Amino acid sequence: MSFDPRTIGKPVYAALAEFRHEQEQNQRDEAKRKERLKEQKNQAVELYTYLSTWGLLRLKAEEKAISKDQKGKKQVVEAFFRCLQTIAERNDLAGDLGLQALSDLDTDDYLGLTGLALALAQEFSFWAGAVYWDIKGGD
């Protein structure tokens, strides 16, 4: 099998573009729509920093801790783990069992998955700028 460099970027772009489209179609209140889009963009950009500082296991735990009023942030973190699951060809990273699955990995597998996660987080950061090109400002 040959390597296709689009393997990582395609699912990331698709997830972020879907979130944007969903907000533009379903959220009639412009202020709420812009706030959700800003939340999604900021989370996508911050994934790499979070991962490199705190690690994959803590990001998975953080997914559970994100409050319901921060739906945009939670959507991005959930999408991140779905993409990681697909790219790593695992079926146990997204959802409620992901934390246990990460805890059960041996050291080499966890470190390898973390390296892949960092590359994926870079894609999220890049595509956030492209998909949310008109959304300005940080937190």
CA distance linking residue 122 with residue 92, whole number of Å: 22
Is the residue at 139 inside a domain? no
1 within some domain? no
pLDDT at 28: 84
Cα dihedral sign for 132, 134, 136, 139?
A: negative
Would you say residue 63 lies in a domain? yes
Q: Indicate whether 136 belongs to any domain.
A: no
Q: d(Cα 65, Cα 104) in Å, to the nearest integer?
A: 21
Number of domains in the chain: 1
51-76: pLDDT as tens digits: 999 999 999 999 999 998 899 999 99
Dist. CA 30–CA 35, nearest whole Å: 8
How far is Cα 12 from Cα 86, in angstroms, rounded to an integer?
11
Question: What CATH number is attached to the domain comprising 19?
Answer: 1.10.520.30
Structural domain span for residue 88: 6-130
Average pLDDT over residues 17-40: 91
Decide if 137 is inside a domain: no
Tens of pLDDT, residues 72-107 = 999 999 999 999 999 999 999 998 999 999 999 999
Q: What is the pTM assigned to this prediction?
A: 0.92
DSSP assigned state of 132? T
